[in-house]
Amino acid sequence: MAKGETTRTRILDEAVRLASRDGLQGLSIGGLAAALSLSKSGLFAHFGSKEALQVAVLEHAGARFRRLVLAPLSDIPAGRERLRTLLQGSLDWMDDPEFKGGCPIFAACFELDDREGAARDALVARQHGMKKFLVGLFGEVAGPGADLEQAAFEFRAITLAYHFATRVLRDPSARTRTWKAFEALLERVTGEPSAP
């Protein structure tokens, strides 16, 4: 990587960490410069504006999600195991100790839902992409008459509930509950008992 690219990656790694804790709105070029011992003017040269920084942070977090959670799925044959691997990867992603404030993408979703702009647009486009991807994965296992959009909606419901149970309630049974809900969903979608 060129030096500029390495610096940019280092900046964005830190920015994703800070955004997980303080939110995208809480992320300032000044605060980031201080955390990294870089000059504010240097950071401005990289991103130009707070909004451009927010978009870059979302893209950086999204790229990390694709690398850590989605890429390994291509090694797994189409079927239930692929969906299980996606759920496992998603739970591990939410528990990543890098993210002091939880999944930076969910955090941004709750923060930007009512704020128009480029950051929201980037986030929503990503979420629509993820929904399409889920519809495809459920399509690989669906029984007759299964509603794939519904399955994608409920998969998201389950991951949101995990995030809530583990981070807000600190419920030690959060993973067990999450898997039980997921296997019940899989049974409905496939029309078959969900033996592993």
Q: Which of 12, 53, 58, 158 binds a second copy (CB under 8 A)?
A: 158
Rg (CA), the chain: 18
Among 165, 175, 183, 194, binds a second copy (CB under 8 A): 165
d(CA 30, CA 184): 48
Give me the sign of the Cα torsion angle 185, 69, 60, 139. Answer: negative
Q: Which of 34, 45, 110, 191: binder of a second copy (CB under 8 A)? A: 110
Does 150 bind a second copy (CB under 8 A)? Our answer is: yes
Query: By CB under 8 A, which span of 47-55, 79-87, 134-142, 164-172 interacts with a second copy?
Result: 164-172
CB 1 within 8 A of CB 34: no
Nearer to a second copy, 44 or 164 (CB): 164
Each residue 113-142 as x (binds a second copy by CB under 8 A) or -, in order, gives xx--------xx--xx--x-----------
Question: How far is the C-alpha of 10 from the C-alpha of 30, rounded, in Å?
Answer: 16
Determine, following the binding rule CB under 8 A, whether residue 156 of this chain makes contact with a second copy.
yes
CA 173-186-174 angle, to 5 degrees, is 10
CA 17 – CA 100 distance, rounded (Å) = 7
> At its nearest, how many Å lie between a second copy and the CB of residue 134?
12
Please identify which residue in the block is written with the tokens 């451009």. 52
- Nearest C-alpha neighbor of 29 from the set 3, 60, 51: 51
Tokens of 151: 């399955």
Q: Which of 35, 149, 191, 192 binds a second copy (CB under 8 A)?
A: 149
Nearer to a second copy, 3 or 170 (CB): 170
Which stretches of the chain bind a second copy, using CB under 8 A? Answer: 21, 23, 25-26, 100-102, 106-107, 109-114, 123-124, 127-128, 131, 147, 149-150, 153-154, 156-158, 160-161, 164-165, 167-169, 173, 177, 180-181, 184, 188
